[in-house]
Amino acid sequence: RYCDPDVSDQFAYYCFEPGCKHHDPTCHSYIGNAKSFIAYQGIWYYTRQNDSDQFEIVCHNPVTNERKVIAQYERSDDGRIWEVIGSMILSHGLLYVSIQRFETAEDTMQQTSTTYTDTINLQTFERKKLENCNDHDGFICGNGQKAVIVHSEPRESVNGSEYVFSELSVLDLTSGEKVKITDSDQGYFNFSDLYQLSNQDKLVYIESNNIHL
């Protein structure tokens, strides 16, 4: 549903079909069991699970009601491999998708978990895995050519084990070169803008009560 505060404070369904019940894909506003949702240049992008329980990303034009699956993640028939979408962030025409991959060994039934980040170009729908990233590396922001990556490490606290930020790096999306900006014993960084680099090529962050550019 949407609201235009200049017109009214009431919400309305984004649907143009008379008598529509808004409960199936014939409705322009219907997005099913969508989880992450982003609207960009009049098009909707959202994650959902299909009938096979696979996670996928849908590109949806709400005016024409055209829908297209632009990415689908693995789920084996026996359930031993399952890729789950954790988060989705849009920055300068690229979707950054955090994926957690679960694998269960057939002989021991022991489960392992790894994480990685996909990029999806919203012009071409080209999908690439962020290379030169380690497990527990997460995307913070980017400008289409470079991405800021934060690495987290487990640390014991009064609430038990938790992951805290420990290293900040810049990753060149073309060459794959990764350059460390700083690391932190405090395990904490504060960023100026989580969704884009300021002025497209500068990042402002706070570390140990100092502002860095």
What does pTM read for this prediction?
A: 0.77
Read off the tokens for 142. Answer: 């980017």
Distance of CA 88 to the CA centre of its chain: 2
d(C-alpha 102, C-alpha 113), whole Å: 5
* Residue-wise pLDDT tens digits, 65-107: 999 999 999 999 888 999 999 888 888 888 989 898 999 988 8
Residue 51: partners with Cβ closer than 8 Å, 6 or more residues away: none
Kindly calculate the radius of gyration of the chain based on its CA atoms and give it in whole angstroms: 20
* Residue-wise pLDDT tens digits, 122-178: 999 999 888 767 777 777 777 778 888 888 777 776 666 666 767 888 888 888 888
Counting DSSP H helices and E strands in the chain, the numbers are 0, 15
Name the residue type at position 101: R
Residue 48, CA distances (Å) to 33, 35, 73 in order: 6, 6, 11
